Amino acid sequence: KNEVEQSPQNLTAQEGEFITINCSYSVGISALHWLQQHPGGGIVSLFMLSSGKKKHGRLIATINIQEKHSSLHITASHPRDSAVYICAVVPNFGNEKLTFGTGTRLTIIP
Amino acid sequence: IAGITQAPTSQILAAGRRMTLRCTQDMRHNAMYWYRQDLGLGLRLIHYSNTAGTTGKGEVPDGYSVSRANTDDFPLTLASAVPSQTSVYFCASSPDRQSALHFGNGTRLTVT
């Protein structure tokens, strides 16, 4: 079982819809990352958080450490939000290296 | 150079050949990483370096080697390429292990 599970694996929505992508993990962590990968491959860091909530423009990331769960929300979705969204955690034991989920492919239809 | 630069962008390589993937950053970040990305498996760490002069093995290090002679450069070498090393390779850096990552644009490698 992967230490980091994302759901859904694929998500298609209409432009303007509110989007939620979930990430659950099974280990204790010191931080969690949300990354965005557009078609063509470039990966961009969206958020790094260890508690609470962060907001940047139309993107909101939340984390519940006790429940080992994080969500990425997109408000007023737009076709340019179409990408793969990747969750990654920093375990608080061992060598503290990132463990990645397999990503959620989001497609926003105009 | 702005951020992280990887070269080449793509490469087709015959099995058994030696290949070095280049990664250079101009942000003076201490930590650098090499990942491979394969369909359905997500990103997996190959090797890392917490600071110049030090390196460590990641999740899938076999068949790969790295060096970190200075802060800016972190090359990844395949000594004798095999088809299972066909993948997209990403170099990343961060100021330290607890900071956000900056990624290069990736190198698409095909080993035939």
Question: pLDDT tens-digit profile of A69-88?
Answer: 999 999 999 999 999 999 99
**Distance (Å) from the alpha carbon of B105 to chain A's nearest alpha carbon:** 5
Give the pLDDT confidence of B35-87 residue by residue, as tens digits. Answer: 999 988 889 999 999 999 999 999 899 999 999 999 999 999 999 999 999 99
- Which helix (H) or strand (E) segment holds residue A14: the answer is strand A10-14
Q: Do A86 and B88 touch (CB under 8 A)?
A: no
Q: Which residues of A touch B103 (CB under 8 A)?
A: 35, 42-45
- Which helix (H) or strand (E) segment holds residue B75: the answer is none
Q: DSSP label at A15?
A: T
Distance separating alpha carbons of residues A51 and B44, to the nearest angstrom: 25
Instruction: Tell me whether residue B27 is exposed, middle or buried, using C-beta atoms within 10 angstroms of its C-beta: 0 to 12, 13 to 18, 19 or more.
Output: middle
A103 interfacial to chain B (CB closer than 8 Å): yes
* Residue whose tokens read 């769960």: A69
